[in-house]
Chains A and B, each alone.
Chain A
Amino acid sequence: MSSLAVTWGVTHRTLQLVARLPSTIVPSLVMPVVLTVAFAGAFSGLVLLPGHPADKAIDWFLPLYTIQGAAFAGVRVGIAVARDLTTGFYDRLLLSPASRVSLLAGSLLASPLLSVLSFILLVVIAGLGGASFKAGPAGIVMLGVASFSMALAAGAWSVGLALRFKTQQIAPLMQTTVFLASFLSSAQMPLNLLDGWLHTVAVINPMTNVFALARQGFLGSVNWHDTWPGLVSLAGLTVFFCLFAYRSMQKVTP
Chain B
Amino acid sequence: MNTAAAAAAQYLALSRRAMFGTLRKPTSFVPSLLFPLMFLALTSSSLERSISIEGFPEVDSFLQFAVATAVIQGVIFGSISAGSGMAEDIEGGFFERLIASPVARTSILAGRLAGTAALGFCQAWIYFAVTSIFGLSVEGGLAGMLAVAIVAAALAAGVGSISVALAIKTGSAEATEGSFPLFFALLFLSSAYFPRSLMEGWFKAAATLNPMSYLLESLRSIVVAELSALNFFTALGIALGVLVVGLAVASALLKRRLAMDA
Contact = CB atoms under 8 A, between A and B. Distances in A.
Interface string B164-206: 0000000000100010010011001101111101111111001
Interface in A175-190: 180, 183-184, 187-189
B31 A172 contact: yes
B174 A23 contact: yes
A94 interface: no
B25 interface: no
A34 B53 contact: no
A189 to B, nearest CB: 5
Interface residues of A, number: 28
B54 interface: yes
A34 B199 contact: no
A69 B188 CA distance: 18
A45 B45 contact: no
A41 interface: yes
B45 A198 contact: yes
Nearest to B189: A38
Interface string A201-223: 00000000000000000000000
Interface in A66-113: none
A42 interface: yes
B93 interface: no
Interface in A42-71: 42-46, 48-49
A48 B199 contact: no
B193 A43 contact: yes
B24 interface: no
B49 A44 contact: no
Given A23-B174, A34-B181, A34-B188, A46 B200 contact: no
B149 to A, nearest CB: 26
Contacts of B181: 26, 30-31, 34
A38 B188 contact: yes
A45 B42 contact: no
Nearest to A43: B194
B207 to A, nearest CB: 8
Contacts of A195: 45, 48-49
A193 interface: yes
B43 A188 contact: yes
A17 interface: no
A194 interface: yes
A43 B189 CA distance: 11
A74 to B, nearest CB: 20
B203 A41 contact: yes
B22 to A, nearest CB: 17
A254 interface: no
26 contacts: A23-B174, A26-B181, A31-B181, A34-B185, A34-B188, A35-B188, A38-B189, A41-B199, A42-B193, A42-B194, A42-B199, A42-B203, A44-B199, A44-B200, A45-B53, A45-B194, A45-B198, A45-B199, A46-B47, A46-B50, A46-B194, A180-B38, A194-B45, A196-B45, A196-B48, A198-B45
Given A48-B54, A49-B50, A188-B46, 15 more contacts: A26-B181, A34-B181, A38-B185, A38-B189, A41-B199, A41-B203, A43-B194, A44-B199, A46-B53, A46-B198, A48-B198, A49-B53, A188-B43, A195-B49, A197-B45
